[in-house]
Amino acid sequence: MVLVELWREEILPLLLQTTTLSNSFTLYTILFHEATCVTLLETVLFHPDSAQTLDHDALDLIDYAQRAISNKFLNRYPNNFQQQMRFGTANLSSF
């Protein structure tokens, strides 16, 4: 998942800027793969026993989830949140 996230954050914007996408199936399959992995993990980790087996890998999963939520949040409110973060007055409940 981390590699797909890295590809989505670093390579995908470059591809979208430099090429005209006549065939977007390749991009779709990579993004679909990320969504499928997240859904599979959600289903498997629903049971407490499977969640306990993660051990230290749970931190990587939490980091991934935090970055995904932050990216969604910043994409929705880019100017307002960044301005408040600059002045140290960001209150997430106000969004």
What is the per-residue pLDDT across 7-64, written as a single tens digit (0 to 9) for each? 878 888 887 777 666 667 777 887 888 888 888 988 988 888 888 888 888 888 888 8
**Does residue 89 surpass a pLDDT of 70?**
no
**Largest CA-CA distance found in the chain, in angstroms, rounded:** 47
Q: Which residue has the tokens 């914007």?
A: 13
For residues 60 and 86, state if they share a domain.
yes
Residue 95 belongs to some domain of the structure: no
Residue 77 belongs to some domain of the structure: yes
> Rounded to whole angstroms, how far apart are CA atoms 85 and 70?
13
> Rounded to whole angstroms, how far apart are CA atoms 58 and 38?
13
Q: Given this model, what pLDDT does residue 90 score?
A: 52
Number of domains in the chain: 2
State the residue range of the domain holding 82. Answer: 54-90
Q: What is the CA radius of gyration of the chain?
A: 17
Residue 41 belongs to some domain of the structure: yes
Q: Given this model, what pLDDT does residue 91 score?
A: 54
Q: Given this model, what pLDDT does residue 84 score?
A: 56
For residues 65 and 29, state if they share a domain.
no
Q: Given this model, what pLDDT does residue 94 score?
A: 52
> Rounded to whole angstroms, how far apart are CA atoms 52 and 58?
9
For residues 32 and 62, state if they share a domain.
no
